Amino acid sequence: MQFVQEGLDDGDECLYVSTEQTISELRDSFSEFDFDLDHENLSFTSIHATPGGTVEGDDELTLDTLGSTEETTPSDEGFGGLDGFSAPFTRDYIMDHLRSHAPCDRVVFDSVSGLNVISNNSERFRRTVLDLIRLFSDEFGATAVFTAEKQGRGGEQLLQYTTHGVIEVSRETVDEDRHIFLEITKLRGTDHDTRRVELEFVADGIRVGPSRRSQPPALKNHHHRAIGIPGLDQLCGGGIVRGAGVLLQHDGRANLSALYSTLLSHAIETDHAVALIPSIELRQSHVETLLDGHGIDLDTMLEEDRLAVVDLIGVWESDHDNVYRPRRTADALKEVLSRIDEECDADKPRFSMSSADAVSQTLGEAGAREVRYFEESNLLDHEDTLFHVLDPSMHGEKVGPFYRNAAEQVLELWMRDDGLQYLTLRKSPCGFVGSTSLVEYIEEPPYLRVQRPPQTRENPYACE
């Protein structure tokens, strides 16, 4: 009815067809809402199968308009059969009756399930449903909304394939309370939001929420930095957060090399001072290969003091002064990180990429917590980026939640059994929180492409 009301407000001719309620019952159902049920451009009709007599014999299903004796629209007046006989409840008679309401711009047909009795022949039932779609779309030239039970006969399933859009409404218990959810599972030609939302009834119909999943602009206190990976910057509302912690959480199966290479190369190319606490994956030879793919020489970066490495687990072979091997204590690591920070050019922003796995496995949970807080409270300016990488499966149950809680932005990279890789924005002050995008590799830098979020949706708070 809200769909119909929107059409009435725009000057459309609208038709509401019910197979389950009388017109009076519809009025009762809509009495608490601000719908204009007496609008001159709105017609109601109902079609219903009732036992009766037709020219073919008695005890047949006949076509009746529910509540037609109570109130009718003009096209319902005089509906019936000849010489005391009623029209049979068949496709042809239903079509003829509905054609009497043409032309119109919007149609609601509620519901297809009411046609189940039209025949025991499932193919005939499916044919009727398909003809209804063509009647409203081709003959009427209308936009039609059909309702149907999700688990129904062939006609209901047919709707999912022949209609341009499918909207699923379902109930679910959330912490012992019942909630109604809405999900657009299909919308041809439209870059639509695929996430589930909650549906609630309000005075002017329904609303869905949340309309946003990131903080209001008035509370925005962060900056972000685009890193040049197609789709990723848009997913995050403009890029990764700076001036706060960012966590990349992965499942141990996803390939992180292309993302690592782009993050490091982008930081170097944008004249950041880069500090790296590597995992075993980021051993020296691998980092050399990653940077070389972007035309950057590792030895040059070390010589020019543009890269510092804190090797906690012994995966770097270089004896360069910029490769540090501190004692495996929180205090020793904090001392080295402070020294690196002091020796950096004061005018350059910092980019720190830290393997939370290496830190936690080396220092333990308490030590990792101490260093993580120290990094953000003592070494992070509003132009700096603090990026942690974590595989929660490698740790106890407290380490993962700690890093997620401390981060301002959380990205999750994971791989399915079929080899498809996805990226989900789990937490962020901006961007499409809760959206999941396909990750794929490309042959040229940045070597990674992330599926863009729907472009027709407003990009929440992407502006600086």
pLDDT bucket at 82, cuts 50 / 70 / 90: very low
Pick the last residue of a domain from 130, 163, 196: 163
Identity of the residue numbered 396: G
Residue 68 has pLDDT above 80, yes or no: no
What is residue 451's DSSP assignment? P
Judge contact between 90 and 131, C-beta under 8 A: no
Number of domains composing the chain? 2
* Same domain for 222 and 84: no
Please tell me whether the peptide bond between 446 and the residue prior to it is cis, using omega within 30 degrees of 0.
yes
Residue 320 is assigned to a structural domain of this protein = yes
pLDDT at residue 41 in the model: 96
Question: What are 276-309's pLDDT values in tens digits?
Answer: 999 999 999 999 999 999 999 999 999 999 999 9
Question: What are 430-440's pLDDT values in tens digits?
Answer: 888 888 999 99
Lowest mean pLDDT: which of 38-52, 174-188, 320-334?
A: 38-52
List phi, psi (to 5°) of 440.
-140, 160
Q: What is the DSSP string of 103-114?
A: S-SEEEEE-GGG
* Same domain for 334 and 428: yes
* Same domain for 301 and 154: no
Judge contact between 115 and 125, C-beta under 8 A: yes
Residue 56 has pLDDT above 90, yes or no: no
Beta bridge pairs of residue 48: 64
Residue 458 is assigned to a structural domain of this protein = no
Residue 460 is assigned to a structural domain of this protein = no
Q: What is the mean pLDDT of residues 248-274?
A: 95
Residue 310 is assigned to a structural domain of this protein = yes
Residue 153 has pLDDT above 60, yes or no: no
> What token pair was written down for 157?
């399933």
* Same domain for 396 and 285: yes
Instruction: Name the residue range of residue 435's domain.
Output: 217-450
CA-to-CA separations, 234 to 229, 231, 317, 419, 432, in angstroms, rounded: 9, 5, 38, 24, 8
CB neighbour list of residue 81: distance below 8 Å, 6 or more residues apart: 54, 55, 62, 87
CA-CA distance, 327 to 371, in Å (whole number)?
Answer: 14
List phi, psi (to 5°) of 91.
-60, -45
Residue 205 has pLDDT above 90, yes or no: no
* Same domain for 259 and 331: yes
Pick the last residue of a domain from 163, 181, 205: 163
* Same domain for 374 and 229: yes
Residue 181 is assigned to a structural domain of this protein = no
* Same domain for 229 and 90: no
Residue 202 has pLDDT above 70, yes or no: yes
Residue 167 has pLDDT above 70, yes or no: yes
Lowest mean pLDDT: which of 46-60, 87-101, 161-175, 191-205?
A: 46-60
Residue 197 is assigned to a structural domain of this protein = no
Residue 66 is assigned to a structural domain of this protein = yes
CA-to-CA separations, 134 to 102, 141, 261, 327, in angstroms, rounded: 13, 9, 54, 76
* Same domain for 430 and 331: yes
List phi, psi (to 5°) of 216.
-65, 150
pLDDT bucket at 220, cuts 50 / 70 / 90: low
Residue 452 has pLDDT above 50, yes or no: yes
Residue 90 is assigned to a structural domain of this protein = yes
* Same domain for 274 and 154: no
List the end-to-end C-alpha distance of the chain, in Å, as a whole number.
40
Residue 460 has pLDDT above 70, yes or no: no
Q: What is the mean pLDDT of residues 158-166?
A: 86
* Same domain for 94 and 20: yes
Identity of the residue numbered 248: L
pLDDT at residue 214 in the model: 72
Residue 130 has pLDDT above 70, yes or no: yes
**Mean of per-residue pLDDT scores for the chain:** 86
- Provide, rounded to the nearest whole percent, the portion of the chain with pLDDT above 90: 62
Lowest mean pLDDT: which of 146-160, 188-202, 351-365?
A: 146-160
Between 197 and 118, residue with greater pLDDT: 197
* Same domain for 256 and 397: yes
CA-CA distance, 81 to 60, in Å (whole number)?
Answer: 13
pLDDT at residue 464 in the model: 41
pLDDT at residue 63 in the model: 74
* Same domain for 292 and 439: yes
Pick the last residue of a domain from 163, 198, 225: 163
Residue 57 has pLDDT above 60, yes or no: no
Residue 249 has pLDDT above 60, yes or no: yes
Q: What is the CATH number of the domain that holds 99?
A: 3.40.50.300
